[in-house]
Amino acid sequence: MPPVIDMEKCNGCGVCDRHCPLDVIYMKEKAPEVRYPEECWHCGACRQDCPTGAIDITFTLAMLGI
Beta-carbon contacts of residue 5 (< 8 Å; ≥ 6 apart): 16, 32, 34, 54, 55
Asked if 25 contacts 35 with a C-beta cutoff of 8 angstroms, the reply is: yes
**Hey, which residues does 4 pair with through a beta bridge?**
56
Least distance CB 5 / ligand SF4 (angstroms): 5
26 binds ligand SF4 (CB under 6 A): no
Does position 36 interact with ligand SF4 (CB under 6 A)? The reply is no
Residues that bind ligand SF4 (CB under 6 A): 3, 5, 10-16, 20, 22, 24-25, 32, 40-46, 50-52, 54-55, 57
